[in-house]
């Protein structure tokens, strides 16, 4: 099987051209970092006029609804592999179409879709207050004094596996370092009950911060810094 290994903000993927219908055990074997290729997940990109279809499996073989970093990788892959003829095109995901655009310098602009409060609502878990939001897949977001001091190896599995999240959840910890700046740590639950710290999906924390921290203030420009990037 031909594949490309791609990375977006620390999230790494095996990316292949579809159609492909792997079994969960196949995906888990391919993504195994000791015995396989090693990846956070598998992306299958299939032509779907006028764009492409994106399917995503987690490293444990489970199907995921959506992945923001994966969406950007899909955009670059589709253009690079000649699956689309236009640098702006729709990507069909499990939660609907998402518009992407490949810009000069390899920069990808992607629409992650509407943000809504998840059914779980605000929660207090593992000593942290978390708001739950969704962009098609679930996220639990906590604003903390120092996101890098959070013991994610201990806290991540507790939040991710809580009964409020029957299909598990992504977990984000964010620190507001100034009126217009946020620092983010993103926790992704992976197979074998461990947690991997990567930056990603900063827009969720932005929405959370606007709703909870600046209530009556109109923000014209807010930046979110993750390891290796700054995003307006």
Cβ-based neighbours of 55, under 8 Å, separated by 6 or more = 18, 43, 44, 46, 63, 94
Domain range list for the chain: 4-110, 116-231
| Angle made by CA atoms 101, 141, 211, in degrees to the nearest 5 | 80
Cβ-based neighbours of 204, under 8 Å, separated by 6 or more = 115, 133, 135, 139, 141, 172
pTM above 0.85, yes or no: no
CATH for 116-231 (3.40.30.10, 3.40.630.10, 3.10.310.10, 3.40.50.150) = 3.10.310.10
User: pLDDT of the chain along its 232 residues, tens only?
Assistant: 899 999 987 789 999 999 999 999 999 999 999 999 999 999 999 999 999 999 999 999 999 888 888 999 999 999 999 999 999 999 999 989 999 999 988 888 888 777 777 777 788 999 999 888 877 778 888 888 887 788 888 888 898 889 988 888 878 777 766 555 545 555 543 322 223 333 344 444 445 444 544 332 333 333 444 444 444 4
Other beta carbons less than 10 A from residue 48's beta carbon? 17
Fold match flag (4-110 vs 116-231)? yes
Top CATH class of 4-110 equals: alpha beta
Tokens 């598998």 correspond to what residue? 42
């Amino acid at each position: 099987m031909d594949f490309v290994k791609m990375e977006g903000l620390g999230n790494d993927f095996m990316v292949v051209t579809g159609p492909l219908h792997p079994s969960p055990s196949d995906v888990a074997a391919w993504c195994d970092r000791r015995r396989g290729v090693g990846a956070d997940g598998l992306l299958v990109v299939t032509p779907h006029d006028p764009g492409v279809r994106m399917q995503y499996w987690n490293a444990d073989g489970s199907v995921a609804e959506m992945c923001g970093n994966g969406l950007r990788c899909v955009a670059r892959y589709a253009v690079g592999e000649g699956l689309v003829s236009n640098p702006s095109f729709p990507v069909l995901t499990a939660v609907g179409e998402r518009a992407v655009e490949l810009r000069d310098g390899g920069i990808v602009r992607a629409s992650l879709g509407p943000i809504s409060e998840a059914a779980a609502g605000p929660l207090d878990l593992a000593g942290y207050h978390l708001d739950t939001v969704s962009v098609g897949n679930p996220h639990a977001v906590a604003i903390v004094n120092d996101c890098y001091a959070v013991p994610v190896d201990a806290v991540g599995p507790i939040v991710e596996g809580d009964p409020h999240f029957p299909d598990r959840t992504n977990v984000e910890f964010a620190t507001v370092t100034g009126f217009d700046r946020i620092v983010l740590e993103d926790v992704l639950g992976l197979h074998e009950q461990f947690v991997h710290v990567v930056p990603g999906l900063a827009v969720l924390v932005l929405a959370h911060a606007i709703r909870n921290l600046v209530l009556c203030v109109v923000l014209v420009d807010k930046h979110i810094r993750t390891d290796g990037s700054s995003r307006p």
